[in-house]
Amino acid sequence: MGRVLGVLTRDFRLYHDLISYLKEGNVPFQSLSFDPGIPPEIGVVLTSSEEARTIDFPLIVAVDEVPDAVAKAQQLLQGKTAFRKIVIGIDPGPRPGAAILGDGEVIDTRTGASPEAVLEICLGVLRTYTCEAFQVRIGHGDPTHRNRIINVLTRHGLRVEIVDERGTTRHDRRREDARDIEAAMDIAMGRGVQAETSYEILPTRGEVKNIQRSSRIRSGGRLTISQGLAEKVARGEMTLTEAIQASAAEAR
Full DSSP string of 89-139: EEE-SSS-EEEEEETTEEEEEEE-SSGGGHHHHHHHHHHH--EEEEEEEEE
Pick the closest to residue 96 from 147, 28, 22 (CA basis).
Answer: 147
Element holding 72 (H helix, E strand):
helix 66-77
Would you state the pLDDT for residue 167? Answer: 53
**Beta-sheet strands, E only, within 123-209:** 131-139, 160-163, 193-194
Pick the CATH number of 83-194 from 3.30.420.140, 3.60.20.10, 3.80.10.10, 3.90.550.10: 3.30.420.140
Domain boundaries of the chain, sorted by first residue: 4-77, 83-194, 205-251
pLDDT value, residue 173? 46
pTM comes to 0.78
Q: Nearest 5°: phi and psi at 157?
A: 85, 10
Backbone angles phi, psi at 191, to 5 degrees: -130, 140
The pLDDT value given to residue 75: 86
Domains 4-77 and 83-194 fall in the same CATH topology? no
Largest CA distance in the chain: 66
- What pLDDT score does 81 carry? 74
The type of residue at 177 is D
Closest CA to 213 of 204, 198, 223: 223
Going residue by residue through the chain (252 aa), what tens digit of pLDDT does each one get?
Answer: 468 999 999 999 999 999 999 999 899 999 999 988 899 999 999 999 999 999 999 999 999 989 989 988 988 888 877 899 999 999 999 999 999 999 998 888 999 999 999 999 999 899 888 899 999 999 999 999 999 999 999 999 999 999 997 755 454 545 666 788 899 999 999 989 999 999 999 999 999 999 999 999 999 999 999 999 999 999 999 999 999 999 998 877
Whether 75 contacts 82, CB under 8 Å: no
Considering the domain 4-77, what is its CATH architecture? 3-Layer(aba) Sandwich (3.40)
Query: HSE (CB half, 13 Å, CA atoms) of 192?
Result: 27
> What angle do helix axes 66-77 and 12-24 make, rounded to 10 degrees?
60
62 neighbors 127 (Cβ within 8 angstroms): no
